[in-house]
Structure 1
Amino acid sequence: MSDSSVDKNPQFSQIQTNNSTEDNLPEIDIRDFIRETRPFYKVPHLRILAFYVFVITLSSTTTGFDGSLLNGLQSTEYWSPAMGHPTGHVLGALSNGTIFGAILAAPFAPFFCDRYGRKISIYIGESLVIIGSVLQGASTNYAFFLCARIVLGFGGAFASLASPALISEIAYPLHRSASTISYNMCWYLGAVVAAVVTYLTRLIDNDYSWKIPSYLQAFFALVQLFILWACPESPRFLIAKGREDKAREILSKYHIGDSTNQRDLEFIDFEIKEIEASLEAEKLAGANSKYSDFWTRKTYRKRLFLVLFTSTMMQLSGNGLVSYYLNKVLNSIGITELKEQLEINMCLMIYNLVISLVICYVANYFKRRQLFITSVSGMLLTYVIWTILSAINQQRNFKDKSLGQGVLAMIFFYYLSYNIGLNGLPFLYLTEILPYSHRAKGLNIFIQNQQIVSVYNGFVNPIAMDAIEWKYYIVYCCILAIELIVVVLFYPETSGRTLEEVAEVFGDGEQTKVAAIYSVDDKRNSFEHVEVA
């Protein structure tokens, strides 16, 4: 969210009209109104906005804590006996507990998000996460623990749906890319904390070695609830509900501070009119918010395909093996000592957090397609090498330690590739391709498809790893090859456009585009908006 986040595409925020030549009106560029070019940390109101964006990203941090937590608990001495020594599909059900909860939340989360606002959805979600965490720590058996995880998943679905939408809708225009990418980047912050906590509590010689980490899953949700009341609500949501004055107040407070400069005031006018124009365009085009639009309208079918395929890539690119079953992967290469496994898990999560921070800082220098293609290509290459080294290692009865270290290196290289394109970028990409009227519903489809695909990870991965070991990696090599072909052939570029302009990429432009015209003839410098034929 520094000045490096400024989009370098010269088409950024450019709005054209069909009568600009006739009326001698200039093309409008949002940069014509933005005076602030300093890094965000040097601007008081942008620092505050960045802090609130971070608070919202804690929804992802809580999810990351959960992913790393289960990895750590499987490597502890007391958790498995307390749960009845789960293996195979029984262990998979525990991993999928949060997924079951998220699926149950599917009919309710988008309704609350659109009807009552992004913030209230996060409040509901994180309150349930706190309840689920307490129940998880208090669990006395397998069924109790599973029910607690279902509650966690139900609450997490509300927060995960509303948080990226709210971030993209309150972010300063020049910082939107970095802000939205930072959402899923913070998954690793939670993963790091969970890995460190489980590493330290391994020294406790009783059930509190796993109960303390389980209780601590509520920590980030508690922090959010204490601070979220001060965060701004989405201006787009407010304008959609007819509360333009409140939306203007929020945009003014966090985008220009206390400035009374005429150009800054015109910048806020531009943002308001652009949002209004976008909402009006969707109504004129008949884009009432219905799930059926995703399969009855051609341009929305393309969006649906991208939503489904992107969410599938995030869960089915081999990351599920390391995210929830790292101990099984390490066992397969001869690394079986508890302390060493927990240290590797902790180092991997810290590494991922650092890599994600770097990628968040530089991502805006690259186009979306470039990042996706680089990411999937890198994952495919590392998985192929990973598979070959694992095969040779097993043939040599794990006596060649260098082969095991080679596999471990490939795991780290794999996550470098994964983080480039499938960590934070999908949330940015999807908030760009989904118009406001369908953003919450599209993100809900995205999240629910993630949960469905994760069921495969939860049940099939542990069974397959137990049954065929390294040969199972070949499946992911094939999946990654298919993903690469699809990304190259079907993923459109969206960089260099505002949220309201991406419709042009999908061919909606002629039907839905509404231009915001800055009237140079009007001495009052007022804005007008008209429908483009």
Structure 2
Amino acid sequence: MLTKAQTGTWMPAWVPESTIILSFLLMICAAVQSSTNGYDGSMLNGLNILPSYTDYFNLNAATTGLNTASVFIGGILGPLVSGVVSDRLGRRPAIFWGSLITLLGVLLQTAAQNIAMFVVARIILGFGTALSGIAGGVYLSETFPSRWRAWGVGLLNDFYYVGALIAAGITLGTGEWQSTWAWRLPSLFQGIFSVICILILPFIPESPRWLVHEGHFEEARVVVAQTNSNGNISDPVSVAVYKEIIDTLEWEKQEGRTMSPKEIIKTPVARKRLLIGMSAGPFSCIAGNIIASYYLGAELDSAGITDSLDQLKANVVLNVWCLGCCLAGTHLLAKWGRKPTAILSQCLLVVCLFIIGGLSKKYADNPDGASQSLVYGDVAVMFLFQGFYSIAWTPLLFLYPPEVMNYSIRANGLAFSQFSLNALALVFVFIMPIGLANIGWKMYMVNASWDIVIVGLIAFFWIETKGKTLEEIDAIFEGEKHSSVPDIEEVRLGKAKIDVGAINVQVQEKMTLS
């Protein structure tokens, strides 16, 4: 049964009473946004292999990099406004406008007549996906209950590989077509995910934390109940969660915390939160996956697999493998924790990169005399590398930053993380084909070396967020919890009791004063 909910914005909502059904809809919202990005990477991977695409645009190494990397120009521009838009308009409207802009980019990309039009389309597409992705990351982290947050927000990037798998299958199917529709049809299909996202938005509520900050207290209380206790506003867990939110946001306002982008660097604590939280974006970008994410063809060439059809098949298999690994990784993040999972994944990446570099060197030294075992061994380690990357970095990319950052800097902080990621990705995606062409296997060795540094940074600076609400994570940085209620998991498990009536009176008094 659907209940009409007030959202504090121009977008109405009809929300299901069941917490399970609502969580399922939230996960679909995350999945379809993630699929757009995954589809793009895998589609370009496939297109860069297709002669009908490379011949149509008469591509060389530089223009291949430009066509591919231009999406990250939009990915750099999008975060410049995403935080402000999400804070001012609301999380759901920001997702809506981001999805709409993405659709426009998809249509222009499909109709591209030359490199300039293709590049402009991909800039628009990148802008839209950045806006909806950042708003989605903040929205889901603020709306999902803490016990399901790892899965709910992790899926925002996990389904990257579902989109990638769909794109790989479509480009494989159109690969032998002798017309421009061999690449135009895969491009057009990319818009389906944004359409699904727009259709789901009317059936999910606004972020309860955004509603409280904007003064919509009753609406926020209802959303907390919908996401935690099937709409029961008297449930102890819902009451505790709601009290924790209003106490913490009230403290932030009393401290003079604003929603200005300058807030992310205003205090030492804010700067610490920003550096730790935003590090997930750059770390994931420079880990080494960009080679296989956008230039699998060149990577397989270096290993001795040069047939375009074989490369397209490898693209399909790779995405199935990575999807399984990122789902397993999300389970580890939920059960084991964010920090240990990231360290494990990063260490495995270092080992794989050194092995890939060594095997690729052996092939480069004598390509005609290379054994089949050498070729397939190199490819096997490349696949292992992508799987190990997916274990931690795929779900962490949108999960960790909003967890570490408090409300006043959350949207702008995640935007800054994505800005950093896309700025680095723009450089790396552009230079990778040039680097592989000039120094070949040495690119893997260079990448492995800086990955070792990342392991140390994670071990020394990251904090653990598993099992805590966003307000409880605040206490790690601020040194104290800003609410009198016990930790939510203690209440949920029955280890701590609360006086629901007394808390309701306190909440009502705060609402009256506000």
TM-score normalized by the length of structure 1: 0.86
1:14 alignment partner in structure 2: none
Task: Note the residue ranges of structure 2 that are not aligned, 5 or more in a row.
Answer: 1-16, 487-495
Inter-CA distance 269–454: structure 2 relative to 1 (3 Å threshold):
same
Is 2:497 aligned against 1:526? no
Q: Tell me how far 1:408 sits from its aligned partner.
A: 0.9
2:9 alignment partner in structure 1: none
Q: Tell me how far 1:105 sits from its aligned partner.
A: 2.6
Is 2:448 aligned against 1:474? no
Task: Note the residue ranges of structure 1 that are not aligned, 5 or more in a row.
Answer: 1-42
Aligned counterpart for 1:313 among listed residues 271, 275, 283: 283
Partner Cα separation in structure 2 for residue 249 and residue 477 of structure 1: 49
The one-letter amino acid of 2:21's match is: R
Is 2:361 aligned against 1:391? yes
Q: Tell me how far 1:44 sits from its aligned partner.
A: 4.6
Partner Cα separation in structure 1 for residue 319 and residue 156 of structure 2: 16
Inter-CA distance 200–520: structure 2 relative to 1 (3 Å threshold):
closer
1:495 alignment partner in structure 2: 466
1:22 alignment partner in structure 2: none
CA contact (8 A) 1:185 1:356 kept: yes
1:438 alignment partner in structure 2: 409
Q: Tell me how far 1:259 sits from its aligned partner.
A: 4.8
Identify the range of structure 1 (351-360 vs 114-123) with the bigger mean alpha-carbon deviation: 351-360
1:332-347 maps to which residues of 2 (within 5 A)?
A: 332-347=302-317
Q: Tell me how far 1:202 sits from its aligned partner.
A: 0.9
1:27-106 maps to which residues of 2 (within 5 A)?
A: 44-88=18-62, 90-106=63-79
Is 2:112 aligned against 1:139? yes
CA contact (8 A) 2:287 2:447 kept: yes
1:36-435 maps to which residues of 2 (within 5 A)?
A: 44-88=18-62, 90-257=63-230, 259=232, 264=235, 266-398=236-368, 399-435=370-406
Inter-CA distance 411–86: structure 2 relative to 1 (3 Å threshold):
same
Inter-CA distance 427–523: structure 2 relative to 1 (3 Å threshold):
closer
Partner Cα separation in structure 2 for residue 186 and residue 297 of structure 1: 36
Inter-CA distance 227–388: structure 2 relative to 1 (3 Å threshold):
same
Q: Tell me how far 1:309 sits from its aligned partner.
A: 2.6
Q: Tell me how far 1:426 sits from its aligned partner.
A: 3.4
CA contact (8 A) 1:277 1:516 kept: no
CA contact (8 A) 2:30 2:152 kept: no
Partner Cα separation in structure 2 for residue 249 and residue 523 of structure 1: 17
2:491 alignment partner in structure 1: none
Partner Cα separation in structure 2 for residue 380 and residue 164 of structure 1: 28
The one-letter amino acid of 2:279's match is: F
Partner Cα separation in structure 2 for residue 525 and residue 70 of structure 1: 54
Q: Tell me how far 1:110 sits from its aligned partner.
A: 1.4
The one-letter amino acid of 2:45's match is: N
The one-letter amino acid of 2:65's match is: G
Partner Cα separation in structure 1 for residue 502 and residue 470 of structure 2: 27
Partner Cα separation in structure 1 for residue 257 and residue 207 of structure 2: 20
CA contact (8 A) 1:67 1:324 kept: yes
Q: Tell me how far 1:173 sits from its aligned partner.
A: 2.9
Q: Secondary structure at the match of 1:495?
A: coil
Q: Tell me how far 1:524 sits from its aligned partner.
A: 5.3
Q: Secondary structure at the match of 2:51?
A: coil
Inter-CA distance 349–522: structure 2 relative to 1 (3 Å threshold):
closer
Q: Secondary structure at the match of 1:292?
A: helix
Is 2:486 aligned against 1:513? no
1:24 alignment partner in structure 2: none
Partner Cα separation in structure 2 for residue 513 and residue 65 of structure 1: 42
Partner Cα separation in structure 1 for residue 273 and residue 502 of structure 2: 40
Partner Cα separation in structure 1 for residue 42 and residue 499 of structure 2: 60
Q: Tell me how far 1:86 sits from its aligned partner.
A: 3.1
Partner Cα separation in structure 1 for residue 500 and residue 439 of structure 2: 74
Q: Secondary structure at the match of 1:423?
A: helix
CA contact (8 A) 2:274 2:405 kept: no
Inter-CA distance 236–466: structure 2 relative to 1 (3 Å threshold):
same
Q: Tell me how far 1:196 sits from its aligned partner.
A: 0.5
Identify the range of structure 1 (304-313 vs 120-129) with the bigger mean alpha-carbon deviation: 304-313
Inter-CA distance 496–124: structure 2 relative to 1 (3 Å threshold):
same
CA contact (8 A) 2:318 2:383 kept: yes
The one-letter amino acid of 2:41's match is: G
Cα root mean square deviation, aligned: 2.2
CA contact (8 A) 2:161 2:322 kept: yes
Q: Tell me how far 1:100 sits from its aligned partner.
A: 1.1
Inter-CA distance 334–241: structure 2 relative to 1 (3 Å threshold):
same
CA contact (8 A) 1:273 1:527 kept: no
Render the CA deviation track for 1:232-289: whole Å, top value 9, x for unaligned.
Answer: 11111111111112122222233222558x5x2x322222111101101212223223
Partner Cα separation in structure 2 for residue 520 and residue 113 of structure 1: 34
Identify the range of structure 1 (173-182 vs 99-108) with the bigger mean alpha-carbon deviation: 99-108
Identical counterparts, % of pairs: 28
Inter-CA distance 312–520: structure 2 relative to 1 (3 Å threshold):
closer
Q: Tell me how far 1:77 sits from its aligned partner.
A: 1.8
Inter-CA distance 496–396: structure 2 relative to 1 (3 Å threshold):
same
Q: Tell me how far 1:328 sits from its aligned partner.
A: 0.5
Partner Cα separation in structure 2 for residue 273 and residue 522 of structure 1: 10
TM-score normalized by the length of structure 2: 0.89
Partner Cα separation in structure 2 for residue 295 and residue 104 of structure 1: 20
Runs of 4 or more off by more than 4 Å in structure 1? 517-525
2:4 alignment partner in structure 1: none
CA contact (8 A) 2:138 2:402 kept: yes
Partner Cα separation in structure 2 for residue 50 and residue 416 of structure 1: 26
Inter-CA distance 199–527: structure 2 relative to 1 (3 Å threshold):
farther
